[in-house]
C-alpha cells in the first residue's frame, strides 16, 4: 500500500494538470482561443440551449458562491498573492458567465493579464467585460478581443 500511494497521487496530479491546461470557455460554442473570433454567430436557438443553464438562479447562486469561496481562500493565503493562471481563468469565466448570459466567450490568463475573446450580443455586454474581470483579485490587466455579434435568427429550413 505504501508503494501504491505515491503512484496514485502522481496520477491525480497529472490528471489535474492536464485538465487545467484547457482554455476556459463560457459555452461549448465559444471560440477555442481568446484571440480567435467567430465570423458568424450560431443560430439563436443554439444560443438559447447552451445558455439556459447560465441563466438559472441556481447556477448564478452556485457561481457567486464559488467566486466568494475562492476569494476567501485567497485572503487566507495572503490576499493579493500572485494567483495561478488557471484559477484566474476559471474565476473570470465564472464571473462573465453569470453576468453576460448570452455571450460566447473564452478566457485566457497569463501572469495577471486576462484576455477575453469571442462574441457578445450587444455593446452593453461588451462594455461589462473589463470591469467584471477586474473585480477578481489578481487580475492586473484585461485585454478584450471580443466583438458584438447578435445571435443569428433561425433559418426557415431549420424548422422542418
Model confidence pLDDT, tens digit, residues 28-46 = 666 666 666 555 555 666 6
| Model confidence pTM above 0.75 | no
Between CA 146 and CA 36 the distance in angstroms is: 9
154 pLDDT above the threshold of 60:
no
Strand duo 147-148 + 113-120: pairing:
parallel
Position with higher pLDDT, 3 vs 138: 138
DSSP letter assigned to residue 157? G
Q: What percent of the chain has pLDDT over 70?
A: 64
What pLDDT, on the 0 to 100 scale, is given for residue 119? 92
Please, which pLDDT band fits residue 55 given cuts at 50, 70 and 90?
low
11 pLDDT above the threshold of 90:
no
What pLDDT, on the 0 to 100 scale, is given for residue 40? 59
Q: Is 37 exposed, middle or buried (0-12, 13-18, 19+ CB in 10 A)?
A: middle
Grid cell digits, residue 83 = 494567483
Contacts of 64 (CB under 8 A, 6+ apart): 98
Calculate mean pLDDT across residues 63-68.
78
- For the segment 66-114, what is each residue's pLDDT rounded down to a tens digit? 877 877 777 776 655 567 888 889 889 888 988 888 888 999 999 999 9
Please, which pLDDT band fits residue 133 given cuts at 50, 70 and 90?
very high
What pLDDT, on the 0 to 100 scale, is given for residue 42? 58
Please, which pLDDT band fits residue 158 given cuts at 50, 70 and 90?
very low
Amino acid at each position: 500500500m505504501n508503494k501504491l500511494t505515491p503512484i496514485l497521487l502522481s496520477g491525480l496530479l497529472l490528471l489535474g494538470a492536464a485538465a487545467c491546461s484547457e482554455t476556459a470557455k463560457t459555452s461549448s460554442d465559444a471560440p477555442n482561443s481568446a484571440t480567435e473570433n467567430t465570423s458568424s454567430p450560431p443560430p439563436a436557438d443554439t444560443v438559447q440551449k447552451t445558455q439556459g443553464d447560465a441563466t438559472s438562479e441556481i447556477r448564478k447562486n452556485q457561481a457567486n458562491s464559488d467566486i466568494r469561496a475562492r476569494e476567501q481562500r485567497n485572503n487566507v493565503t495572503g490576499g493579493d498573492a500572485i494567483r495561478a493562471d488557471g484559477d484566474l481563468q476559471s474565476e473570470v469565466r465564472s464571473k462573465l458567465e453569470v453576468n453576460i448570459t448570452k455571450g460566447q466567450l473564452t478566457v485566457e490568463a497569463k501572469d495577471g493579464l486576462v484576455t477575453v475573446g469571442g462574441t457578445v450580443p450587444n455593446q452593453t455586454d461588451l462594455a461589462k467585460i473589463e470591469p467584471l474581470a477586474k473585480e477578481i483579485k489578481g487580475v492586473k490587466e484585461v485585454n478584450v478581443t471580443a466583438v458584438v455579434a447578435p445571435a443569428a435568427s433561425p433559418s426557415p429550413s431549420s424548422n422542418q
